[in-house]
Amino acid sequence: MYRRLSGIMFPIVTLLLAGAVLWGYQVNQEKNSILLKAENQYQRAFHDLSYHVDQLQRELGNSLAINSTSHASQRRGLVNVWRITSEARNEINQLPLTLMPFNKTEEFLSNIASFSYRVAARDLTKEPLSPEELQSMSALHERSKEISTQLRDVQSQVIANNLRWMDVEVALASDEKALDNTIIDGFQTVDKKVSEYDDLNWGPSMAGLFEKRSFQALSGPVVTADEVKQKAGAFLGISDLNTIHVVENGDGIEYSSFSVTTKKPNTQEDISLDYSKKGGEMIWYMNPRTVNERNLSPEKAREAAQSFLEAHGYKGMTAVSYDEYQNVANITFAGQQNNMIVYPEKVTAMVAMDSGDVTGLQAADYLFEHKARESKAPALSMEQVKKSLNPALQVSHETLAIIKNELDKEVLCYQFSGKINGGDYRIFLNADTGNEEKVEELKPVDVEVSA
């Protein structure tokens, strides 16, 4: 009996064992194939990075060699710098460097990309490169040459010693304190070198980029915690101020503020607000809850939000965009001044679609951008500028507006809203030059709630 059973089981076990060996071999082959593919991708990204950094310093050198009056050639050179830098940054993102400090080099490349794009985007015939910008370009050329040299040294060692990027990934993932790896050491040397560079005077094009918002720049006196408690009580309609708790954040720094919390009636959930220490202005407000029903139309939600804003001092706001998620509407409003829409002055209200309650308010942009603006008549009339529009655009609404352009500068525009190619669009044309500043595609609901 046992002999007969073993005669049956032996070929079955043998077959299973052979299948397991074959399966293990296939899994191992697939794993090796994946690792080889990953290694090849890392190697390609690294060698492309070395090549593009080398091209970057050459293109910067070419741009500096061009006559300062050759604006078209300067623009082409700066566009090439932006393109090459963007490719280099993309290649850095493809390498396993997330666990390695390489942020200074990435920031350096990001600043070059922003600088070259912003300068190339402006009219160099009217606003040529300043002496400070030319000096910065010269410094960028020298620094990129140093980085290129260091990367080529690492590249030479990678090729000569047949080094693998998969070893870098393993070394970084192991979280060892002492990482002895040629590639890691080389990249750390590059980043350390970049961190030692002096700050550059990037000129007017980059001024807005590096300008940090600071609560210290706000108008008004410094307020106390008790004053903030009174403001929060008035905003929430709470008479018993003992139920309101105020905590000061970042005492003595530029972002110092007060955080306010209080409990919702009959629940243990928090209502939260933040106020600036300078001026005592509300930064944001949150009174979140689960919204299970949708009883309001977008237009009714907009009306509820507008009434809330009017009641709390945000006068004359107009809805400019609408979004909705989990029965909560997020409606962005912009300020109005002298019969024009001021897009930098914006607040976003969150409206519960079951009852119309405003469950949140984000007012930081309004806080920093709300100010009296000089009333300046546009150089061109609306009819003159309108001739620059696509003739196929069916204009339904037109008005003056202030927006921020790609250089983060406020510009006076004519805003035209209408349909073209089956979609709704908002087009902004410069009121002084007639040039197109921005185009936005609108959702049907944006058109429904917008003025």
The phi, psi pair for 260, rounded to 5°, reads -120, 135
Domain boundaries, the chain: 11-210, 225-369, 382-449
Q: What is the pLDDT of residues 102-147, one digit of tens each?
A: 778 888 888 888 888 888 877 788 888 888 888 888 888 898 888 8
The answer to whether residues 413 and 431 touch, using CB atoms and an 8 Å cutoff, is yes
Both tokens assigned to 57: 């310093």
Q: Given a cut of 60, is residue 297 above it in pLDDT?
A: yes
At residue 328, the 3 state secondary structure works out as strand
Residues in contact with 24: Cβ distance below 8 Å, sequence separation at least 6, in sequence order:
none
- Name the helix (H) or strand (E) containing 139: helix 131-161
Residues 136, 201: Cα–Cα separation, whole Å: 6
- Positive/negative CA dihedral, 166, 169, 171, 173: negative
Mean pLDDT of 283-309: 92
Can you tell me whether residue 259 is helix, strand or coil?
Answer: strand
For 74-86, how does the pLDDT look when each residue is reduced to its tens digit (9 = 90+)?
Answer: 888 888 888 898 8
Cβ atoms of 201 and 210 closer than 8 Å: no
Asked which of 96-105, 142-151, 412-421 is least confident by mean pLDDT, the reply is 96-105
pLDDT of 323: 92
Q: What is the CA radius of gyration of the chain?
A: 30
**pLDDT of the residue at 178:** 42
**Contact residues for 408 (Cβ-Cβ < 8 A; gap 6+):** 208, 209
Q: How many CB atoms lie within 10 A of CB 231?
A: 20
pLDDT, mean of residues 402-412:
86
What CATH architecture does domain 382-449 belong to? Roll (3.10)
